[in-house]
Structure 1
Amino acid sequence: MRALEASRRLSRALLTSASYSRLELLSSLDCHISSSSTAAVGNGGAPLLSSPWSATQHRGVKVNASHVKPGNVIEKTGKIYQVLESEHKQRGRGGAMMQLELRDVDTGNKVSLRFGTEEAVERVFVQEKSYTLLYTEHEVAYLIESNTFEQVEVPLDLFGKAAAYLKDEMKVTLQLYDGKPLSASIPKRSTCTIKEVHANVKGQTVTPRYTRALLDNGLTILVPSYLESGEVIFVSTEDDSYIGRAK
């Protein structure tokens, strides 16, 4: 049942980007996927679909610790870390420093390291790859690469808070290092429908410029008070702020 549903979602996802000749292939897609998952194997004998990652790692240049940002990947003492948070701190006479919250790419363990702001850090560059979201289920996002039909499954927490904006057929980007997904991102804005506008406080004599609104994805944001339930709007997926009405 799930395979049939995924096939239907796949057809819709590819409809806008595939040529007519490719669309003729969709009628036999279920058989193609089934045979590929059992017949296609790698050198180690494991099915290719179970290990679809093929990114190549790229070592970059050394940068000052003050230039390291969340989402970057760095190398320290032979280990590869993804930067989760970076904070500039002042140590009085000791000078400024950078406090980095990191995640070990191999183990998943989180560590906290300190660097001088001018201390050299080796930044590692990662591969970015575009996918289309088929559907989400049980905290997992099912994605497909529309040119190769490569299908992958990634945990929703790779998207962070942006997971609330995920919709079927949305274009998403995976950041990969050495064949492993480190994080995932979505477009900077998304269309949402206002489900409910919170009523103004009783007795208020002046209508406020903004009011709280519940969106169809469950988030509550501030919107102009003239908007009503049922309206479709653009919302920033980076800070959950109102952008404007969807034309």
Structure 2
Amino acid sequence: MKISGVDIRPGNILEYEKGIWRVAKTQHTQPGKGGAFMQVEMKNLIDGRKTNVRFRSADTVEKVRLDTKEYQYLYTDGDKLVFMDNENYEQILLDVDMLGDEVAFLQDGMEVTLELYDERPISVQLPDQIEATIVEADAVVKGQTASSSYKPAILDNGVRVMVPPHISSGTRIVVDVYAKEYVRKAD
């Protein structure tokens, strides 16, 4: 489906210069002289490159629809991640670097969504929030009782997050996977 350059929005998947790109940011600019344009920051879903492109209102670009499919994470085998299709139980191996830093949040049996382009997986979406256990938390500094003061803590997956002062080692918390932030204590 072709769309105008000024109709591009963050999250859109575009086919541009023989690549598949996810739009990260857009900025509409109306200069005093000349036509309006959209400054677009995109990330290539195949090789991870980033680029900034200027699209004028007269430019058209192909908007791509990705198929999504639910998979279950099974285990890591070297530099490959093994996932199982929830419908037909077939297994698929993907490179660890397809997930980037979020790979630390993978948990055995976790349900994930794979985005596919022409039957080929190009990205893995983890749940937005997961539960994790604090394995190490700094002691509260005396006099640091303001509600906005947070202390560093390390999760059982090795990720460092900032937590409120009342959180101690051994506590289960809910963490935002993509922002790497404390959300609340787990129930």
Normalised by the length of structure 1, the TM-score is 0.64
Off by >4 Å, runs of 4+ in structure 1: 63-66, 89-92
SS in 2 for 1:125: coil
Contact (CA 8 Å) 1:98, 1:117: kept in 2 or not?
no
In the alignment, does 2:81 pair up with 1:141? yes
1:214 Cα shift?
A: 1.1
Contact (CA 8 Å) 1:175, 1:184: kept in 2 or not?
yes
1:135 Cα shift?
A: 0.4
Task: Show the counterpart of 2:104.
Answer: 164
CA deviations on 1:64-90 (whole Å, 9 max, x unpaired) are 5453324x321236x242226334265
In the alignment, does 2:14 pair up with 1:82? no
CA deviations on 1:4-58 (whole Å, 9 max, x unpaired) are xxxxxxxxxxxxxxxxxxxxxxxxxxxxxxxxxxxxxxxxxxxxxxxxxxxxxxx
Alpha-carbon distance change, 143 to 114 in structure 1, aligned in 2, over 3 angstroms: same
CA deviations on 1:150-200 (whole Å, 9 max, x unpaired) are 110011222233211001110111100012211101111101001111124
Task: Show the counterpart of 1:100.
Answer: 41
In the alignment, does 2:6 pair up with 1:68? no
**% same residue:** 29
SS in 2 for 1:184: strand
Q: Report how many residues are paired.
A: 182
Contact (CA 8 Å) 1:74, 1:121: kept in 2 or not?
yes
In the alignment, does 2:173 pair up with 1:233? yes
Task: Show the counterpart of 2:93.
Answer: 153
Which one has a bigger Cα radius of gyration? 1
SS in 2 for 1:161: helix
Contact (CA 8 Å) 1:65, 1:121: kept in 2 or not?
no
Alignment of 1:32-47 (within 5 A): none
Alignment of 1:1-247 (within 5 A): 60=1, 62=3, 64-70=5-11, 72-76=12-16, 79-83=18-22, 85-88=24-27, 90=29, 92-93=31-32, 95-103=36-44, 105=46, 108=47, 110=49, 112=51, 113-116=53-56, 119-201=59-141, 204-209=142-147, 210-247=150-187
* Letter of the structure 2 residue corresponding to residue 115 of structure 1: F
CA distance in 2, matches of 1:109, 1:190: 25
Gaps of 5+ in 2: none
Alpha-carbon distance change, 65 to 216 in structure 1, aligned in 2, over 3 angstroms: farther
Contact (CA 8 Å) 1:66, 1:118: kept in 2 or not?
no
Contact (CA 8 Å) 1:73, 1:80: kept in 2 or not?
no
> Between Structure 1 and Structure 2, which shows a larger proportion of strand residues?
2
CA distance in 2, matches of 1:63, 1:146: 37
CA deviations on 1:189-232 (whole Å, 9 max, x unpaired) are 1010011111244xx42324322211111111121211110011
1:147 Cα shift?
A: 2.8
Normalised by the length of structure 2, the TM-score is 0.82
